[in-house]
Amino acid sequence: MPEFEWKIVEKIAVLSTSAKGWTKELNLISWNNREPKYDVREWNPDGTKMGKGVTLSAEEAAYLKKALNERDEL
C-alpha cells in the first residue's frame, strides 16, 4: 500500500467521543500536499491513527450544509 501524508490545516469541530477516547472530528485536511478538503472521520486520542472517513470538496461541503439547513428536524 502506498504511503500518504496528511496535515490537519484546521480543526473545526469534535462531533463525538467514544468510550475508548476516539473522537469523530470535522477537520480541514491537506492530503499528500494537495489543496485542503473537509474531512469527517474518527481519530485515536493522540491523533496518530484514523478510521475510515468521508472527504468533501468545498463545493460538496457547501451543498451538504445547504441540504442540512433545509431540513426542519435539525
Q: Summarize pLDDT for 24-41 with one digit per residue, the tens.
A: 999 999 999 999 999 999
- What is the block-wise mean pLDDT of the chain (74 residues), using blocks of 10 residues? 88 97 98 97 95 98 94 71
Q: How many domains does the chain have?
A: 1
**Quick one: what percent of the chain has pLDDT higher than 90?**
89
Look up the CATH number of the domain holding residue 53.
Answer: 2.30.31.70
Residue 1 lies in a domain: no
What mean pLDDT value characterizes the chain? 94
Alpha helices (runs of H) in the chain, residue ranges in sequence order: 58-70
Residue 19 and residue 26: Cα distance in Å, rounded? 19
* Strand, coil or helix: 49: coil
Q: What pLDDT is stored for residue 74 in this prediction? A: 58
Q: Give the sheet arrangement for strand 50-56, strand by strand.
A: 6-17, 23-31, 37-43, 50-56
- Establish if 41 belongs to a structural domain: yes
* One-letter identity of residue 63: Y
